[in-house]
Amino acid sequence: MPSTRDLATADARAIIQEEGAGSSIKLEKPETENEKKDFWFFDSIYSDIGSLFNPVTGEPVQGRAIEATVSSLDVITVFNEVPKRGWKAYIKGKDGKETMLYVQRNEYDRTLDLCRLTLGLQLEGVENE
pLDDT in tens, 54-97: 778 877 766 667 889 999 988 999 889 999 999 999 988 777 88
Do 126 and 119 contact (CB within 8 A), yes or no?
Answer: no
Q: What is the mean pLDDT of residues 36-50?
A: 78
Q: Is the pLDDT of residue 112 over 80?
A: yes
pLDDT band at residue 129, thresholds of 50, 70 and 90? very low
Helix spans in the chain (H): 4-17, 72-79
**Percent of the chain's residues with pLDDT above 70:** 83
AA identity, residue 98:
E
Domains of the chain and CATH, by start: 4-120 (2.40.10)
Residue 42 CB neighbours (<10 A) = 20
What are 30-39's contacts with CB under 8 Å, separation 24+? Answer: 30/86, 30/87, 30/88, 38/78, 38/79, 39/88
Instruction: Specify the pLDDT at position 15.
Output: 83
Q: For residue 123, what pLDDT is reported?
A: 72
Which of 2-6, 35-39, 82-86 is the least confident region?
35-39
Average predicted confidence (pLDDT) for the chain: 82
Whether residue 128 is predicted with pLDDT greater than 90 in this model: the reply is no
